[in-house]
Amino acid sequence: MNRFEFLRPATLPEAVNMASAPGAAFHAGGTNLLDLMKGGIMRPDRLVDVSRLPGLDGIEHAADGGVRIGALVRNAELAHDAGFAARFPAVAEALLSGASAQLRNAATVGGNLLQRTRCGYFYDTASACNKRQPGAGCDARGGENRLHAILGWSEHCIATHPSDFCVPLLALGAVVEIEGQHGRREVPLAGFHLLPGETPERETVLAPGELVVAVRLPAEAARFAAHSRYLKLRERTSYAFAVVSAAAALRLEGGRIAEARIALGGVALKPWRAEAAEAALAGQAPEPAAFARAAELALQGAAPSGDNGFKIGLARRIVARALALAAAGTPDRVPALPASPFAPVPGGPIHV
């Protein structure tokens, strides 16, 4: 690990100013950043520790049903917040399906949004990777790529975004609050992460020195609480990233779908919203045929980026299954293995 400067600011403006210098990076939970530094993938000259900044570690429940989540709130703390899990059960389920209990206790909400791809070629400094070294090429294109992107990829990068948390956040219309040298701005999560295009090294809309300070879920997102699920298929049932995943949320009126929300994970370099599928479900009865049609629309435009064509059919089935589970109703208790299709037995009382 290279030598670096370690700074601990006392205020948010001070943190932003410190991190605006070239080669600076923010440090909070460190569950992804420190691994990247140890492996030589990231070599910051300066670490700005924001883990003790005041005012960024609260969960604020609004009277209208919305919520504001500070960037330093730990994943485990948010998932086990009774009020939050009752109103946004799919988000709690996604959080509990990510990583291990130890990592969830350390990882932060802001860091979850900013975690980097787990592509093996990105982590292997002997391999060519445009994300790590722009212009180097992409060894994943002709390598082991069965878990890589099927939507939104380019010749320059076929990696996927690893977050579980971001998938239901996207489906429910989350907004990211960002602090920078020019003050505070808000960006819908749908526009926060960037597809690779010709510049895969640029992963988010954050400018140098900008810091995620909070994530907000609007009041209307709580209207889906009764019919909301997150489903994740992984190569082993715990402590693994998604091969594919889906968040599905429905609002039912008079036995029909008044409104639907669908997002996918593990399919692109950002969480993927399926708006055409959502629109097709409006006014339909919550039946398998409607879910199958929505799943087809959700994967419109999908194409293999290598030896991963199987992921397209798999993602369709995950979307249809997530919609069926959402239609059946949010369970009173979170499954013993959260978000796993192989864990129908209820577990602890998270959603009650």
Whole-model pTM over 0.85: yes
Residue 108 lies in a domain: no
| CA distance to 51, 311, 323, per residue, from 57 (Å) | 9, 37, 33
Residue 203 lies in a domain: no
Residue 299 lies in a domain: yes
What per-residue string of b and e applies to 40-78 under the rule 16 or more CB within 10 Å gives b?
Answer: ebbebebbbbbeebeebbeeeeeeebbbbbbbbbbbbbb
CATH number reported for the structural domain that contains residue 241 in this entry: 3.30.390.50
| CA distance to 48, 108, 213, 247, 276, per residue, from 111 (Å) | 14, 5, 10, 20, 30
Residue 352 lies in a domain: no
CA distance 207 to 193: 12
Radius of gyration of the chain (CA): 20
Q: How many CB atoms lie within 10 A of CB 6?
A: 9
- 313 CB contacts (<8 Å, ≥6 apart)? none
Reduced to 3 states, what is the DSSP secondary structure of residue 109? Answer: helix
Residue 351 has pLDDT above 60, yes or no: no
CA distance 190 to 284: 26
Residue 345 has pLDDT above 70, yes or no: no
The residue segments making up the domain with residue 290 are 227-328
CA distance 315 to 144: 19
CA distance 23 to 250: 44
Residue position matching structure tokens 């049609």 = 293
Residue 352 has pLDDT above 60, yes or no: no
Residue 303 lies in a domain: yes
DSSP string, 125-194: TTS-BTTTSTTS-BGGGGSS-TTS-SSS-BTTB------STHHHHHHTT-EEEEEETTEEEEEEGGGTB-
The H or E element spanning position 16 is helix 12-19
Confidence of residue 47 (pLDDT cuts 50, 70, 90): very high
Retrieve residue 12's tokens: 């948010």
Residue position matching structure tokens 């993602």 = 315
Q: What is the DSSP letter of 136?
A: S
Q: What is the total count of domains within the chain?
A: 1
Of 340, 312, 33, the C-alpha closest to 148 is 312
Residue 343 lies in a domain: no
Residue 279 lies in a domain: yes
Confidence of residue 350 (pLDDT cuts 50, 70, 90): low
Residue 253 lies in a domain: yes
- What confidence tens digit (pLDDT) does each residue in 211-259 have? 999 999 999 999 999 999 999 999 988 889 999 999 999 999 999 999 9
